[in-house]
Amino acid sequence: MHRLVRMSPFNSAGKRQTSFSLVEVLPKLPDQGDLHIPEGDIEVSVARSGGPGGQNVNKRDTAVRMTHVPTGFAVHVTSERSQAQNREKALEMIRGKLFQMREDAAEKESRGLSTGASTKIEWGSQIRSYVLHPYQLVKDHRTDHEERNVEKVLEGDIQGFIDAEKVLEGLEIRYN
């Protein structure tokens, strides 16, 4: 949360106004492409398909039951006439379930980061104040670090605030 105090160019009376801005930083999760499942994580069992279906049904093991051991996801496929096709379809279904589980976890994590870190937009919740009128000062309320050159800070030179935060957290500061 940041607070800006300035003479608003939109106020015809020329009064000092205060604005608040909330900034959230969320990680961008990399695209993990196709989901690879190690062979050791899959248990496969075969059986004879039941029901009507011709001569092949009672002679060959074409039904496939596949279980993803770490999650316990299990699928049973009997729709195709060959074991290889049923096996491929079962693996595709397991991949789909794992992909959905991964997407749900990423969404839950993203929501948790978003809602867990957010604060109310109100007085007293700001981390930094930018005062442009009647004096010029930028103050970080967490570290009490102050900068008098407001233009420099507004143009992106926030190294002083970063260094003050590192000192507060006890981190070593290195300059390149």
Q: Residue 152: is its pLDDT beyond 90?
A: yes
Q: How many CB atoms lie within 10 A of CB 140?
A: 20
Long-range contacts of 159-165 (CB under 8 A, 24+ apart): 161/128, 164/140, 165/140
The answer to whether 139 and 161 are in contact (CB under 8 A) is no
Tens digits of residue pLDDT in 69-112? 998 888 888 888 888 999 988 888 888 888 878 877 877 777 66
pLDDT of 9 over the 50 cut: yes
Please give the span between the terminal C-alpha atoms of the chain, in angstroms, as a whole number: 30
| Separation CA 168–CA 98 (nearest Å) | 42
Confidence of residue 116 (pLDDT cuts 50, 70, 90): very low
Closest C-alpha to 129, from 117, 114, 145, 116: 145
